[in-house]
Structure 1
Amino acid sequence: MTFAVPVVDISSYVHDGTPEQRATTARAMDDACRTVGFVQVVGHGVPDAVATGLAGAMDAFFGLPLEAKNGWRTPPEVNRGYSPPKSESLSLSLGVEAASRMNDFFEAFNVGASQATYPHAPGLPQPDYAANTWPDVPGFEPAVGAWFTEAARVARTLTRVFADSLGLAPDFFARLTGHSLDVLRMNNYALPEGTVRLDGDLTGMGEHTDYGIVTVLWADRVAGLQVLGGDGDWHDVMPAEGALLVNLGDVTARLTNERWLSTLHRVKPPIVDGTIVRRRSAAFFHDGDVDALITTLPSCLEPGEEPRYLPVTVGEHVAAKLRGSRAGVVNTAADREAARVLAARS
């Protein structure tokens, strides 16, 4: 059977669609989330100019010399600022010790929702809601901020679709995301000559699942992203023209007892004539409130079926994942995801 990422049009939720139109969208989303866990989302309403501004801002920052970019590096426990090449290993977020060295060659810059974003919720824990570190690059902050706002809108729209797809109250996800741990991670895979050696099994970004509720991804239409299918094989995925790639995170898999999958994915950019083809992406992670307790939805349990996961707060879960990917501390609480990685055919 040919692997394909379903296309779902969410315009009926972005605009004032009829109940029948929204029901059709919700059914399509449920089918996509049950079978693949990745979705090509169209009808999202993000202006082309905002995407163009994001790409330009990323190019301006990542085009700086490495020593300049390192000036905006933060400690591993602060999920903000610059991450240089080979300072992370996403596979460790799953506890896959075969990848127990920091070898992912991408570089990244993170911004996120801070305490100032949620004035209605004073006293949020730090560094979960750390202030952003903005580089001194003309136009970077407004361009990235505009994309962050649009991606956040799309993510929250998607959770309304999810609620209808799962037969939940319309405000179910809103109750989990009043002060959501939202992070935008901008990634660059085209590094200066001599930065990485093009030998062996080069890792752009190691196998991992995303941590939260949903991820909204903008990416170049360049090969590199691979998704683990139900057949145990890795499949190439490229965003369709004008589409945003959307995938589910661990929180949603836990809520639905894996009725909906948090799909494993990785990045292995193509090499042409000894050079890594440029690939950029920006992933907006909508993770949920740090103190939200995630337990399996009773409606997602068949008669006699037991939950596959113990209750956990979003903050506890995300912290364990980040200790793996950013600090090299093997995550021992991701045995189900790790088993899928180890069973996959390369």
Structure 2
Amino acid sequence: MASFHVPTIDISAWVGPGPDHARAAVVAAVDHACRTVGFMQIVGHGVPDAVMHDLEEALDEFFGLPLEAKKAYVRPAGENRGYSPPKSESLSYSLGVDPVTRMNDFFEAFNVGTSWQEYPAASVSPDDYATNTWPIETALFEPAVRTYFDEARRVAHTLTRIFAAALRVRDDFFDGLTDHSIDVLRMNNYALPPGSIELGAELTGMGEHTDFGLVTVLWADQVAGLQVLGLDGSWNDVAPADGALLVNLGDVAARLTNDKWLSTLHRVKPPVIDGTIERRRSAAFFHDGNADAVVGPLPHFVTAEAPALYEPVTVSEHIAAKLAGSRAGRKNVSAVREAARVAAASRA
């Protein structure tokens, strides 16, 4: 099998006006990446450097607060907003896989997302579209995060137009699945105070998991840690190239294509240097789709030789099952295919 490779794709022809041949080349490259890796690096995305710099500063501002101050922003797990303290989650449970120790993912995180007030024309519930909480101790955090959120959402919308061309569906196909999308920006920090982690054990920064929705746009430090599962069952290190955003597919994309496109398993292993964990920050924008959208394999991906692998399910139902695993420590028993891949990787 060929060595593992995450391709770098310039999508500028789709960000602004581009010639047809350049757009077609992007579509072909994205389709190939989606079928073979499920991950890609994108450049030419149009997010200004200043916006990403301000995001870095904002993450440092919030995560630099005392732990007790941050804990004031913990929200109920079902709302998927606010602060998650270290070791309060275990993403392996979202796949129905037992982690090494219960609730052992040591990252801390802060989530913001689309709220029900943003979709007055749609009948959406606060259960799926919770109102955001913003920390009052920070000055830069809210404006910088809001600006980056809008940029990441624009990139995600550009990608869905490319996806529509690659899947040979109507240009506006994804509009019907994402016009009131559950979009969440999850900001992560892996640099914890000395002594708060037992070094020498099997440390898990973020357990193996697939992303829940349609597509994820990831900004991250150029620090080792992210590992992606290859088709041969091997775990492979991936770090963003200069100026690039990492993009990966989620479960909704896999369901729509009957697993022709890959919702690839990935995890974060903490880089330990001289007995301490090197700082690693990331911000994952999850473009999940409408809560009430019913997703199942598209008809042209189902044949007698390739029967449907998934029953139709709403985006909300799928996300609820995954979150119940990662946040409440209950195995997601519906993730049979993903759990099997994790088991195979552990034997490789």
TM-score (normalised: structure 2):
0.97
What amino acid does structure 2 have at the position aligned with 1:153?
R
> Where does residue 250 of structure 2 map in the other structure?
249
Amino acid at match of 1:321: K
Amino acid at match of 2:110: F
Residues 60-79 of structure 1: per-residue CA shift (max 9 Å, x gap): 00001100000001111110
Q: Paired residue for 2:232? A: 231
Gaps of 5+ in 2: none
Partner of 1:166: 167
- Runs of 4 or more consecutive aligned structure 1 residues displaced over 2 Å after TM superposition: 97-100, 301-305
For the residues of structure 1 that align with 2:91 and 2:237, how far apart are their CA atoms?
Answer: 19
- Offset at 1:101? 1.0
What SS does structure 2 have at the residue aligned with 1:153?
Answer: helix
Contact preservation (8 Å) 1:213, 1:252: yes
Partner of 1:128: 128
User: Partner residue of 2:105?
Assistant: 104
Inter-partner Cα distance in structure 2 for 1:127 and 1:194: 37
Q: Deviations over 1:226-274 (max 9, x none)?
A: 0000010000000010000000000000000010000000000210000
2-structure distance, mates of 1:186, 1:171: 30
In 2, Cα distance between equivalents of 1:64 and 1:109? 12
> Distance between the aligned counterparts of 1:172 and 1:201, measured in 2?
44
- Pairwise mapping of residues 43-54 of structure 1 onto structure 2 (< 5 A)? 43-54=44-55
3-state SS in 1 of match to 2:33: helix
Secondary structure of the equivalent of 1:326? helix
What per-residue deviation string (whole Å, max 9, x for no partner) do you get for residues 21-52 of structure 1? 11111001000111100000111000000000
208 and 329 in structure 1: CA distance in 2 versus 1, 3 angstrom threshold: same
Give 1:119 deviation, angstroms. Answer: 2.2
1:103-140 alpha-carbon deviations (Å, 9 max, x no partner): 0000000000001222222x411221110000011121
Q: Secondary structure at the match of 1:241?
A: coil
Deviation of 1:17 (Å): 1.0
- Between the aligned partners of 2:252 and 2:261, the Cα distance in structure 1 is 10
Please state how far the C-alpha of 1:303 moved relative to its aligned partner. Answer: 4.4
- Say whether residues 1:192 and 2:190 are aligned partners: no
Whether contact under 8 Å (1:91, 1:99) holds in the other structure is: no
Query: Could you give the per-residue CA deviations for residues 263-306 of structure 1, whole angstroms, max 9, x where no partner exists?
Result: 00000021000000000000000000000000101122244421
Give distance in 2, aligned partners of 1:205 and 1:247. 16
CA distance in 2, matches of 1:313, 1:251: 10
Amino acid at match of 1:131: T
Task: Tell me the CA shift for residue 194 of structure 1.
Answer: 1.8
Q: Distance in 2 between matches of 1:329 and 1:2?
A: 36
Paired residue type of 2:292: D
Which secondary structure state, in structure 1, belongs to the residue aligned with residue 227 of structure 2?
Answer: strand
Contact 2:94 2:326 in 1 (8 A): yes
Report the CA distance between 1:100 and its aligned residue.
6.2
Distance 1:303 1:229 in 2: 28
CA distance in 1, matches of 2:280, 2:310: 35
Match of 1:330 in 2: 331
Q: Distance in 1 between matches of 2:100 and 2:274?
A: 27
Give the whole-Å Cα distance in 1 for the aligned partners of 2:306 and 2:277: 47
How does 1:77-92 map onto structure 2 within 5 Å?
77-92=78-93
Distance in 2 (CA, whole Å) between partners of 1:260 and 1:31 is: 9
Aligned to 1:289: 290
Give the distance between the partners of 1:120 and 1:12, measured in 2 at CA.
Answer: 32
Task: Look up the match of 2:267.
Answer: 266
**CA apart distance, 1:200:** 1.1
Instruction: Please name the residue that 1:148 is paired with.
Output: 149
Moved more, 100-109 or 281-290: 100-109
Partner deviation per Cα, 1:136-186 (whole Å, 9 max, x = no partner): 111211000000000000001000000001111111111100110000000
Cα deviation for residue 98 of structure 1 reads 4.3
Equivalent residues of 1:94, 1:208 under 8 A apart:
yes
Deviation at 1:330, TM superposition (A): 1.1
2:148 is aligned with what amino acid? W
CA distance in structure 2 between the partners assigned to 1:39 and 1:336 by the alignment: 22
Letter of the 1:130 partner, please give it. Answer: A
Structure 1 regions of 5+ residues with no counterpart? none
The 10-residue stretch of structure 1 (14-23 or 334-343) with the greater mean CA deviation from structure 2: 14-23
Asked whether the 8 Å contact 1:92–1:99 carries over to 2, the reply is no
**Is the contact made by 1:8 and 1:25 (CA closer than 8 Å) also made in structure 2?**
yes
Question: Partner amino acid for 2:133?
Answer: T
* Identity in percent: 65
What CA RMSD, in Å, does the superposition of the two structures yield over aligned residues?
Answer: 1.0
Task: Report the equivalent of 1:64.
Answer: 65
Q: Is the 8 A contact 1:92 1:100 kept in 2?
A: no
| Greater alpha carbon shift after TM alignment, 166-175 vs 279-288 | 166-175
Change (3 A) 1:73 1:164: same
Equivalent residues, number: 345
Q: CA deviation at 1:99?
A: 4.6
Question: Paired residue for 1:23?
Answer: 24
